[in-house]
Amino acid sequence: MSIELRWAVTDGPAGTAAVTLPEDGTAARVLGLHRDGGFWCSREAGGCGSRLVLEVREGSRPHFRHSGDVRCALPGSDAGPAYEHLRYRRAVAAWLAAQGFRPRFEEVPGPAGSGGLHVVVAEVGAAVEVQLSALPDTAWRERDDRYRTRVRHVTWLYGPAAESAADTELAVRGVAYAVRRHNTGLLVGVRDVDGGTRWVRLGACRLTTDGFEAPGAEEARALHARRATDRREAARRAARCAERAARGPRDHPRVEAPPLLPFPA
């Protein structure tokens, strides 16, 4: 049985303004009333670019359907992940545009279109990687090294499915950035090596010629540096103790007992 199509965009055949139909029929009708321009099956999500019709019937979940006989890959599959990266793309694009940048977006392949986004910001020689699917350690290192040969700064934003890759960067650099959808925007979680996460709006962060700036990032890096210093000092102490143990107990000169004197008469 095909899975009902519950995702669409509202800004044209190649749009990125993704919406998800609510489960409630009344809420779905309200959504339809507030979208005078209609709904489309977005080409950016792998769809056909045709218009969609909102279906709300008693006894069934609200869903979209294609108008007429249209060949499209999305109606018979779960299109949710394919539309997921559009939600991130729109928010990231708005954030960069507010800073005066004109970024170039590329979709990173992944399961069901959910791999992520590769965003190049030429004005500051930077790339922003929005990673939405799991990424093995070796693959993360290979991509990170490759991107850093092309731009001065690479910033990774990790979705919920990419926490393992975030752990890798956290161990290497002392800070990693989680990213989550929040209403129509994004939240960035600044992670540190003590397990803390400071959540801030993406709008509170900046992309500059020095890289990605987020509240709490410098504190996270300083904490990492302190922990690294502590580990080095602990390793030096352990080495000194091992060296003393290997030498064994020190030889002390023997002290002769004093001669016995005769008892006075």
Q: What is the DSSP string of 138-173?
A: HHHHHHHHHHHTT-SEEEEEE-GGGHHHHHHHHHHH
Tens of pLDDT along the chain (265 residues)? 456 788 999 999 999 888 888 888 889 888 888 777 799 999 988 889 999 999 998 888 899 988 888 888 776 566 777 788 888 999 999 999 999 999 999 888 765 555 789 999 999 999 999 999 999 999 999 999 999 999 999 999 999 999 999 999 999 999 999 999 988 899 999 999 999 999 999 999 999 999 999 999 999 999 999 988 888 888 888 888 888 888 876 655 666 666 666 655 5
Greatest Cα pair distance, the chain, in angstroms, is 134
Domain boundaries, the chain: 7-78, 86-219
- pLDDT at residue number 102: 96
Among 125, 57, 127, CA closest to 92:
127
Q: Residue 79: its pLDDT value, please?
A: 78
- Element containing residue 179 per DSSP (H, E): strand 176-182
CA 181 – CA 84 distance, rounded (Å):
10
Residue type, 53: V
Tell me the three state secondary structure of residue 120. Answer: strand
Ordered strands of the 153-158 beta sheet: 104-108, 116-121, 126-131, 153-158, 176-182, 185-191, 197-201
Q: Using CA atoms, how far apart are residues 120 and 44, in angstroms rounded to an integer?
A: 18
- How many Å apart are CA 135 and CA 142, to the nearest integer? 11
pTM: 0.79
Q: To 10 degrees, what angle do helices 163-173 and 137-148 make?
A: 60
User: What sign does the dihedral 54-57-60-65 (CA atoms) show?
Assistant: negative
- pLDDT attached to residue 1: 42
CB atoms closer than 10 angstroms to residue 23: 10
The secondary structure of 24-69 as a DSSP string is: SHHHHHHHHHT-TT-EE--GGGT----EEEEE--TTS--EEEESSS
